[in-house]
Structure 1
Amino acid sequence: MHSFIPPKRFFPYLSWTDIQAMPNKEDVVIIQPVGSIEQHGLHLPLIVDAAIGMAVLGKALEKLDTSIPAYALPILYYGKSNEHWHFPGTMTLSAETLIATLMEVGESVYRAGFRKLVLMNSHGGQPQVMEIVARDLHIKYDEFLVFPLFTWRVPHITSELVTLKEKQVGIHAGDAETSLMLAILPEQVKMDAAVAEYPPEQPEGSLLSIEGKLPFAWATRDLSKSGVVGDPTVATKEKGDRILESVSDGWVRVIKDVYAFQKPQPE
């Protein structure tokens, strides 16, 4: 049931008396991984975002010093994926449903006595949802510290392993995600079906982009016929192994920072 998560770090394996007796619960780090079930081209399964999140978190928790109390909740597999729903198999929650679900999970964590919650999101279509939930939980419970974090935003070496074009616009089912899947679930990757596809370029000099500081709203079918936005054909397990080690190292640092974090107190 714990998947990639070390059993001793899997929150549901605790009993209610374990939680009742846990010391210094206000500093224990509770991590809610959030993924998605959505299309990832012809070569990858629907579970990519969820699988990557769990693999990274599991590897990070394996590396984390045992003196730091941190536990993973079960992953929320479904996310807000309506940008992909034109491709069969994509499952999506509305923003309202995802917000309500995470709010109620957060309130349960708070009610149990914990005061630090990480929302570890691995799907690029929902960071804003995590930010709304984190802010609303903190406003509702002043001493509740909630961290809306994106799996890929920790320090890591991925940009050193992919081309400049892939770094700039390879946002879905491309080299990095495919390489990671070759490292963690190779039997679910169909490399013979992999195709490279990049989105249409914006006019020269335009400030607008599919992601970044000045984005426009899009559905995946606006950008790609295959569902891929990037080049998975150059992916390798070796790159995936290096990416997994690097991103999980970044998450070890983040979890340590969350554990040490104290609510700011203006002078």
Structure 2
Amino acid sequence: MMHGFIPPNRFFPYLTWAEIQSISDPESVVIIQPVGSIEQHGYHLPIIVDSAIGMGVLGKALEKLKPEIPAYSLPCLYYGKSNEHWHFPGTITLSATTLLTILMEVADNLYRSGFRKLVLMNSHGGQPQIMEIAARDIHQKYEDFLVFPLFTWRVPNIASELLTEKELEYGIHAGDAETSLLLSLLPNQVNMEKAVKEYPQGLPENSLLSMEGKLPFAWLTKELTKSGVMGDATVATKEKGDKLLESLSDSWVQLIENIYQFRQPQF
């Protein structure tokens, strides 16, 4: 069961080298590299949350994807850049340099095998910038290699219909959305008796600055929350998680189809 949530026929490591060599049009194949993290998520959630969400959404999307569209998932990179959480036991973080090097070397090997479309599917909010740097550097190195630095949550989804306005703005870590999704994906690993409601503390008032967005400031998790939670985990439900999973995966189906059809703009 090494494929986890990914359909076996869409799991790249289950192919043999001969099967890979015989792919008739590898330049059109969409290769997806899920990137997660191993980091604290409060008292009630396991440290695998981001990785599990990425693999869960991708697996559901690949189940729905038309069989004629060639797309494969690589094994998840479970470790990410999570040093904002490293004051909490259990967090395992790579440096930005290490993660960037891994992504670059994965791309080198895929390119050598003839593939020309790579999705960096990131599920951890602390590292989108690394995906963007990697994508640009890979494409600059191999101009016919199309690379897409994407964030799991940025596709159209129904979160705004399920969460409060406060949760949408401040519930960025182990809150309602992530807890609900884990109740859908890994219910046995969620302890709702330990769920808490804690929003970020001490944020600047009447200021253009914010934790995230266009004008952010650098922060460490311990500066904003005692529990490690930023959001209201107490109101999470499996029903909301199921709806989020369906919504996110539907949009990822459309996105993978768009990537399959994509051609690099040129004069």
TM range (shorter): over 0.9
Q: Could you tell me how far apart the structure 1 residues matched to 2:29 and 2:13 are?
A: 15
The aligned residue for residue 91 of structure 1 is 92
TM-score, with normalisation over the residues of structure 1? 0.99
The aligned residue for residue 69 of structure 1 is 70
The aligned residue for residue 26 of structure 1 is 27
TM-score, with normalisation over the residues of structure 2? 0.99
> Which letter maps to 1:76?
L
Q: CA deviation at 1:205?
A: 2.2
Q: CA deviation at 1:134?
A: 0.3
Runs of 4+ in 1 over 6 A off after TM superposition: none
What residue ranges of structure 1 are gaps of 5+ in the alignment? none
The aligned residue for residue 40 of structure 1 is 41
1:116 aligns with 2:117: yes
> Which letter maps to 2:122?
N
SS of equivalent residue, structure 2 residue 44: coil
SS of equivalent residue, structure 2 residue 131: helix
Q: Could you tell me how far apart the structure 1 residues matched to 2:165 and 2:150 are?
A: 25
The aligned residue for residue 249 of structure 1 is 250
Q: Could you tell me how far apart the structure 2 residues matched to 1:203 and 1:213 are?
A: 15
The aligned residue for residue 11 of structure 2 is 10
The aligned residue for residue 194 of structure 1 is 195
Deviates more, 1:90-99 or 1:196-205: 196-205
Q: Could you tell me how far apart the structure 2 residues matched to 1:138 and 1:73 are?
A: 19
Tell me if the contact between 2:156 and 2:248 (Cα under 8 Å) persists in the aligned partners: yes
Q: CA deviation at 1:201?
A: 5.0
Q: CA deviation at 1:23?
A: 1.2
The aligned residue for residue 170 of structure 1 is 171
> Which letter maps to 1:216?
F
Q: Could you tell me how far apart the structure 1 residues matched to 2:177 and 2:260 are?
A: 29
Q: Could you tell me how far apart the structure 2 residues matched to 1:245 and 1:18 are?
A: 32
Q: Could you tell me how far apart the structure 1 residues matched to 2:253 and 2:8 are?
A: 17
The aligned residue for residue 214 of structure 2 is 213
Task: Tell me how many residue pairs correspond in the alignment.
Answer: 266
> Which letter maps to 2:61?
A
Identity across matched positions, percent: 72
> Which letter maps to 1:10?
F
SS of equivalent residue, structure 1 residue 92: coil
